[in-house]
Structure formats: structure tokens, C-alpha cells
Structure 1
Amino acid sequence: MTAPRQPALFDLDGVLLDSAAAVRATLAAVATCALGRRVTPGDLPPGALRRPRCEVLAFLDVADPDDACDRWWDGAASAIPVETFPGVLSGLLALRAQGTAIGAVTVQDPERVRWLLPGALSDLLEVVVTRQDAPPKPAPDGLHLALRRLDVPPERAVFVGDSPTDMTAARAAGVVALGAVWGWHPPAALRAAGADHLLLEPASIGLSLLHHLPLIDSA
């Protein structure tokens, strides 16, 4: 009998995509449009990437952050290219070569994902679950949906994320929670949220990731 595939699920921003500078620039651009004066990434509050975008815009005195995001977020974000972290694509290719099923669970909207993902990364993802497909993390629903689409049970899976909500979702979904410390949140926050292991660099997304996957009986 062929052994079932083991799945590795990933968050996008801060894990596969080096999008921190792009998000800061987008926040500044939206605030500039809403306020009618120039706002730069240097004007953002400390920890801006770890705070909801509407909270950051409110800090900058944007009167209606939700409306501002609806009007200008996608246009601003689409003008700023985002690349994968060094080593991510080669690591995912190595995992695929070992038969690992690869998917992503993100809070991004599906339309945004279509132009956000570099083509080489999009080609490697067998499934992408967005906020419109399932309730966003920390709810485990998106992870469960991705695993159903890959036709694998949660006890065979890992989820790599960079936020406490990612770790909470992974634990609630019954998968191994791996914290990416190169992302937007400090290691202590990931451990406090229940990370089973911490990954120290993007190059950890490769064959070494398989050491954290639950063992599978091939019988």
C-alpha cells in the first residue's frame, strides 16, 4: 500500500512572502490618500505590522479606516511587488519532490491573492484557503478546509505561521504548530501561543521540515 501524503500548510505574509516593507508602504499610501497629506512608513506607530490595519490608520488620524481601505488598499498594494523569502521556493520544491502536499491558509482576500502571489510560488501551492473560504484564524476552519481539499487528516499535518493567531489556529485544528521567527512576531509570543517548535530561518522550509511531521504507518 502507498503511504498517505503528509501535508505542510503555510501562512503567506511573513512566512513565505517577504511582505513587511510592502505592507508598511501600503499603510502609508492609504493614509496619504485619506488625509490629503504625505504619510511615510516612518510615521507608522511601533509594531504596526502586529496591529490591525484599521487600528494603525486610526492612530494616523484617518477618520474612517474601513472606508479608506475599501477605497485605496488594493490599488496601493498592487503597485508594490512582493517576493518570497530567500530559500523558500527551493525548499518547497524539495518538499514537493518528497511527495509532501503543500497549501496555504491566509487572511488575504482571494482577488488579492491572485495578483499578490509570485507565479513560481502559486504553481507550488496545491490549495490556497482565503478569508472568504472560511472564518479567519485563530479559528481552525481554514486549516480544516485545506486538509479536506488535500484529502488528509489533521494528525498528519504541520502548519507554519508567524503570529500567535496562527499558533492558536494550528493547535485548535490538531496539527503541529511551527512558529516562523523571521516573521512579524517575536519568538516568545509564538511560544506563549502554543508553538510546538520554532523555525529559525526561511531555509527551514525544506526537507528539515519533515522532521517535525508526525510519523505515518505505511501499512
Structure 2
Amino acid sequence: MTKYDVVVFDVDGTLIDTQETILLSLQHMLLRMTGHLYHFKELYFALGIPGDKALEELQIEDQEKAMKMWLTYNDRYEFLQKPFEGISEMIDWLESQGIRQGIVTSRTREEFKKSIANYAFIKKFETVICADDTTKHKPEPEPMLALLDKMQIEPSRVLYVGDSLYDMECARKAGVDSALAVWGAHFPENIRADYKLEKIGDLKSLFI
């Protein structure tokens, strides 16, 4: 009998390779708003947290204007994003094993529907928790707790797969085991997780 009944995934950097889209659009917006060209390494922190929180960290005064501009540029660069190799096949395999699946993401519901929901394998997820479903966000536990409540599942029966420290901390605080998606993580050696998966296929080893 497998230890987990539910696998929950983050989206950006875990299911979908959106790094270039997010960072290019953020970089472009910041150049327009501030006149400063930020390097990607200065913006990595924005991956995995809600956009408004990233703008707060960047101390952008007119956040409403900045967010609209960021989303406009995101649309322009969206063609660069794609699912990571093997993701769709893994989702199908988990389904064939009777494993329920969910999503906890820092995207808003509108952003999720517009940019992510059209991928065919996304329709296989039973529950999706977005940034606007809770008051507090990752790394706080509230998004995961909301999913546990909606799916009526005990934390000990759930595994959260994500690519960032925010994901791993959210899982830990909610009492859920964590698996780091090394394929999308920055500085994975510095991130504590119950498991570290070099590639998506490694997830099977936790169920066989």
C-alpha cells in the first residue's frame, strides 16, 4: 500500500517551464517603470510567490500600473513557456494508479485560467488552489490547508511536489511531505525537502 493517496503539484517551475516568460516580462516591465535593467538572478525571488508580493519586494510605488504592464508583457512572451518533459505522462501514470491529484499555485485564478488551464493534462487535477483562494500565501500553510479541507484528506497522506523554498515551507508548515522538483529549482542544494527528484520520472519510485 502506497504511503500517499494524493499528489499535489506547484505549477511554475514544476509542471510548466515558465521561467523565461515570467522573468522576461518582469524585466521588461521594470525597465519601463524604473529605467533599470535587472539581471535574471536579481529576480529569481519572484518565482513562486504572488505577483503583488514580488512588486512589494521590488518597492514599486504604482503597483496597479506595474501589474497591468507585467501581465501585458507576460502575454507577449507566453509562447516561450511549455510543460516540462514527461509531465503529461506522469500525470496519466498517477491517475492509472488511483492517485488523486491537486494543484497549489501562487497564480491568481484569472492568471491560471488564461495561461495554464488550456493544457490538456490540467483537466485531470481534482482540486486547484490559487493565490486568491486564501488570505495568506506560500510559504505560509494556508493554501495547502485549503486544499486538504477541500479534498477531505489527512496531511500524512499527501505529497507536495514543488520547485522552490516557498513550496517546501508551505508543505512543512501544513504537515505535508515535500518533494523538490530539482528540474525547475534554483540552488536545490540549499532547499530542505523530504525527497529530491532529479527528474519527474523519479516520482514513480515513491509509489512502487
TM-score bucket (shorter structure): 0.7 to 0.9
Distance of 1:109 and 1:209 partners within structure 2 = 30
Query: Deviations along 1:175-205, whole A, 9 cap, x unmatched?
Result: 11111112232222212xxx11111113334
The alpha-carbon deviation at position 47 of structure 1 amounts to 4.4
Which residue in the other structure is 2:199 paired with?
201
The one of 28, 39, 43 aligned to 1:44:
39
Q: Normalising by the residue count of structure 1, what TM-score does the alignment of the two structures yield? A: 0.79
Which residue in the other structure is 1:132 paired with?
132
Which residue in the other structure is 1:142 paired with?
143
Distance of 1:166 and 1:56 partners within structure 2 = 18
Q: Normalising by the residue count of structure 2, what TM-score does the alignment of the two structures yield? A: 0.83
| TM-aligned CA distance change 1:119 to 1:57, over 3 Å | same
Which segments of 5 or more consecutive residues in structure 1 lack a partner in the other structure? 212-219
| TM-aligned CA distance change 1:21 to 1:174, over 3 Å | same
Coordinate RMSD, CA, aligned: 2.5
Query: Deviations along 1:26-45, whole A, 9 cap, x unmatched?
Result: 1122124425x795xxx425
**Aligned positions, number:** 197
Which residue in the other structure is 2:23 paired with?
24
The residue correspondences of 1:88-99 to structure 2 (distance < 5 A) are: 88-99=87-98
Q: Which has the higher helix share?
A: 2
Query: Deviations along 1:57-116, whole A, 9 cap, x unmatched?
Result: 56xxxx636244322122221231321100011001100111111111111111000011
Distance of 2:168 and 2:112 partners within structure 1 = 22
The residue correspondences of 1:134-213 to structure 2 (distance < 5 A) are: 134=134, 135-191=136-192, 195-205=193-203, 207-210=204-207
Which segments of 5 or more consecutive residues in structure 2 lack a partner in the other structure? 47-52
Which residue in the other structure is 1:86 paired with?
85
Bigger CA drift: 47-56 or 12-21? 47-56
From the CA coordinates, give the structure whose radius of gyration is larger.
Answer: 1
Distance of 1:23 and 1:5 partners within structure 2 = 32
Distance of 1:38 and 1:199 partners within structure 2 = 36
Q: Is this contact kept in 1: 2:4–2:156, CA < 8 A? A: no
Q: Is this contact kept in 2: 1:50–1:185, CA < 8 A? A: no
